[in-house]
C-alpha cells in the first residue's frame, strides 16, 4: 500500500495549547504573564497558528474559559471553535496510560484539564505549549506539572518563549 502524503502539512496540528497561555494573553488572572495589550504581536502570532489549524486544544479548555463569564473570552472561544477538539479513543487511551503512571490525575480535582491536554498531545504527537514550570523533583502521587509529565512520557513541552524560538519569530 503506498504511503499517504499529507497534501497540506502546514495545516496539520503541531501544537497543543494549555489554558494558562490563553488566560494570560486574555488577562483573565492577576498573574497574567503576557497581556495581549502589551504583547499584541505575540498574541497575533498564536492566533494565526490557531486559525490555521496548527495549534489545537482539547474541548475542556473551551469549557474552562467559558467559566470566566467574560463576553470577550466567550467571543474568542466562538471565533476559534474549530480549534477545540472533542475527546476520541486515542486520547482516552493516552490518558489512561498517563493516569496509570500519575494516579493523582484520577483523584485530584483541578487537574483534569492538564490530563486532557497531555492526553491529546500524546495521542496526536503534538508539542505542548504551557506557562507551567518543571518541578525539580516529581512525585507520581502528588499533582505533577505538565512539563514533568511530558518529560516522563517522552513528549516535547515548550514554554511560550521556547515556542516562539522554535517558530523562529521575535517581536
The Cα 95–Cα 153 span in angstroms is 11
- Give the predicted TM-score (pTM) of the model: 0.89
pLDDT of residue 86: 96
Domain boundaries defined on the chain: 10-167
pLDDT of residue 137: 78
* Maximal CA-CA distance, the chain: 55
CA angle 105, 106, 108 (to 5 degrees): 60
Cα distances from 84 to residues 41, 105, 143, 147, 157, in angstroms, run 23, 21, 25, 21, 19
The Cα 61–Cα 139 span in angstroms is 25
Q: Mean of the pLDDT values across residues 43-53? A: 96
pLDDT of residue 108: 66
pLDDT of residue 142: 72
The pLDDT tens digits for 55-100 are 999 999 999 999 989 999 999 999 999 999 999 999 999 999 999 9
Give the fold, CATH level 3, of 10-167: Rossmann fold (3.40.50)
Amino acid at each position: 500500500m503506498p504511503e499517504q502524503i499529507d497534501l497540506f502539512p502546514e495545516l496539520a496540528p503541531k501544537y497543543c495549547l494549555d489554558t494558562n497561555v490563553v488566560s494570560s494573553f486574555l488577562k483573565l488572572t492577576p498573574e497574567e504573564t503576557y497581556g495581549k495589550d502589551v504583547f499584541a504581536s505575540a498574541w497575533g502570532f498564536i492566533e494565526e497558528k490557531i486559525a490555521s489549524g496548527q495549534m489545537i486544544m482539547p474541548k475542556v479548555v473551551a469549557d474552562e474559559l467559558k467559566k470566566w463569564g467574560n463576553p470577550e473570552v466567550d467571543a474568542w472561544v466562538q471565533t476559534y471553535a474549530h480549534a477545540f477538539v472533542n475527546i476520541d479513543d486515542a486520547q482516552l487511551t493516552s490518558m489512561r496510560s498517563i493516569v496509570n503512571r500519575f494516579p493523582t490525575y484520577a483523584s485530584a480535582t483541578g487537574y483534569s484539564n492538564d490530563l486532557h491536554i497531555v492526553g491529546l498531545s500524546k495521542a496526536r504527537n503534538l508539542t505542548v505549549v504551557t506557562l507551567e514550570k518543571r518541578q525539580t523533583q516529581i512525585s507520581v502521587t502528588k499533582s505533577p506539572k505538565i512539563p514533568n509529565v511530558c518529560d516522563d512520557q517522552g513528549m516535547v513541552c515548550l514554554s511560550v518563549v521556547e515556542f516562539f524560538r522554535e517558530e523562529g519569530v521575535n517581536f
